[in-house]
Amino acid sequence: MFPVFTDDQIAIRDAARDFAMSEIDPGAAARDASGEFPQAILKQLGEMGFLGMTVPEAYGGAGVDFLSYILALEQVAYADASVAVTMSVNNSVACAPILAFGTEAQKQTYLKPLASGDVLGGFMLTEPDAGSDAAALKTRATKVDGGWRLNGAKAWITNGGVGRYFVTMARTDPDKGKKGISAFILDADQAGVVMGRPEEKMGLRSSKTVMVALEDAFVPEDAMLGKPGDGLKVAFGGLDGGRIGIAAQALGIAQRAMDESLAYAKARISFGKPIGEHQMIQTYLAEMEAHLQAARLLVYRAAALKEAGKACTVEAATAKLFTTESAVWICDRAVQIHGGYGYSREYLVERLYRDVRVTTIYEGTSEIQRMVIARELLK
């Protein structure tokens, strides 16, 4: 039967659940209201090894397998999806590309502090006019003595303003199209990296998302990630793992919506009995559970393939597409089951409904996942 977890995976999942419910969950509603970034929680997650889970211990990480990371992320998202996206971005699209493409020196300098949680990181691919069509990015990297100067604008940057090292894609050769894009490790702690004000988002309100202006931002020669022209490979390779992470985030949110709905269906009385005894509510609950079970298998399967070093582009995109679309639907049904109370900030499902909505958009929209799946199948 799949999945069969090892004792270590179960221990990591349970430790993540305990921490999520005792330390993250209690303040989540207040942080949603205030927008306060959960700095202290992130520090604790770093100490637990959760910010560089698959990074070897020699580089400051926990050195666990990818499925363990996904199980932990799901539990964190169950408590607070804002914390989960911060954790996911640090692991999947900051640490992972540096681990995969970085030189030994880059791993020592950048990966160690990121994986141990000393500093947070992120990923600067998207621009105001280049979202789904990532290869249309315009940020320019110009060669100067000792390195590169980056100029341009980056949009929707998770961990902007709270993170330091960002895997950043910029155009090094404007005449070479997609092969003229390179990846860099950008240190945001400099005057040339201007972080905008945090976006006023519908959900994930305590995670930080900003516009970034790059104004002659300096990257030293030895902070190019991979070879010149490797930028999209670095970016899209990282996004394969990132998409499994976002699917796990959606899974955690959806499981919470399910559990809240079950509790409410047992407690709320209408027409003389708990609403869970009405067949229409039962239909919702049964279909929500069916979607959850199917999504969970897709997410764990994609994670297991990635851990095994197998190509997982289709599986990652499929897991993200199905899980995030299902999660949005599950949270919508959860609000419906709660009736008027589901529309009130006093009930958790209202936040889940807002938090889940972005999961079909970021790290590749559902439309892009369909495109990725179909293109691979047709190859």
Interface with ligand CAA (CB under 6 A), residue total 25
**What is the Cα–Cα distance from 110 to 121, expressed in whole angstroms?**
9
Q: Is 342 in the site for ligand CAA (CB under 6 A)?
A: no
Contacting residues for 40 by C-beta, under 8 A, at least 6 apart = none
Q: Which is nearer to ligand CAA, 41 or 137 (CB)?
A: 137
C-alpha torsion 97→99→245→115, nearest 10:
-120
Taking CB under 6 A as the rule, does residue 72 contact ligand CAA? no
- Write down the least CB distance from residue 36 to ligand CAA, Å: 19
Residue closer to ligand CAA, measured from CB, 93 or 188: 93
**Which residue, 263 or 311, is less far from ligand CAA as judged by CB?**
311
363 belongs to the binding site for ligand CAA (CB under 6 A) = yes
Asked if 282 is part of the footprint of ligand CAA (rule: CB under 6 A), the reply reads no
For ligand CAA, give the closer residue by CB, 258 or 305. 305
Q: Considering only residues 168 through 187, tell me which ones interact with ligand CAA, judged by CB under 6 A.
A: 178
Half-sphere exposure of 136 (CA within 13 A, CB side): 7
Binding of residue 372 to ligand CAA (CB under 6 A): yes
233 binds ligand CAA (CB under 6 A): yes
Q: Which tokens sit at 282?
A: 């039962």
Task: Out of 66, 78, 110, 123, point to the residue binding ligand CAA (CB under 6 A).
Answer: 123
Indicate which single residue of 368, 370, 378, 379 sits in contact with ligand CAA (rule: CB under 6 A).
Answer: 368
Residue 142 Cβ vs ligand CAA, minimum distance, rounded to whole Å: 22
Binding residue (CB under 6 A) for ligand CAA from 132, 190, 270, 282: 132
Q: 147, 223 in Cβ contact below 8 A?
A: yes
- Residue 125, interface with ligand CAA (CB under 6 A)? yes
C-alpha to C-alpha distance for 125 and 87, rounded to whole angstroms: 18
Q: Which is nearer to ligand CAA, 139 or 158 (CB)?
A: 158
Q: Which residues contact 59 (CB under 8 A, 6 or more apart)?
A: 52, 99, 107, 108, 111, 112, 115
Token digits for 48?
């637990």
Within a 13 Å sphere around the CA of 195, how many CA atoms are in the beta-carbon half? 20
Q: Under DSSP, is residue 11 helix (H, G, I), strand (E, B) or coil?
A: helix
Cα 348 to Cα 341: distance, rounded to the nearest angstrom: 10
Binding region for ligand CAA (CB under 6 A) out of 123-131, 182-190, 254-262, 294-302 = 123-131
Q: Which is nearer to ligand CAA, 226 or 276 (CB)?
A: 226
| 293 versus 310: smaller Cβ distance to ligand CAA | 310
How are beta strands 273-274 and 224-225 bridged, if at all? unpaired
376 is annotated as an active-site residue: no
Instruction: Return the residues of window 140-159 that contact ligand CAA according to CB under 6 A.
Output: 158
Instruction: Give, in order, the Cα–Cα distances in Å from 92 to each of 52, 99, 178.
Output: 9, 10, 23
Cα distances from 337 to residues 133, 178, 284, 307, 350, in angstroms, run: 38, 48, 8, 38, 12
Using the contact rule CB under 6 A, the part of the chain among 22-30, 137-145, 326-334, 363-371 near ligand CAA is 363-371
Beta carbon of residue 240, minimum distance to ligand CAA (angstroms, whole number): 5
Smallest gap from Cβ 238 to ligand CAA, in A, equals 8
**The two structure tokens encoding residue 110:** 């950048």
Member of 15, 29, 100, 135 binding ligand CAA (CB under 6 A):
135
Query: Which are the contacts of 366, defined by CB distance < 8 A and separation ≥ 6?
Result: 321, 324, 325, 360
Catalytic residue among 74, 127, 260, 363: 363
What are the residues binding ligand CAA (CB under 6 A)?
85, 89, 93, 123, 125-126, 132-135, 158, 178, 232-233, 236-237, 239-240, 313, 362-364, 368, 371-372
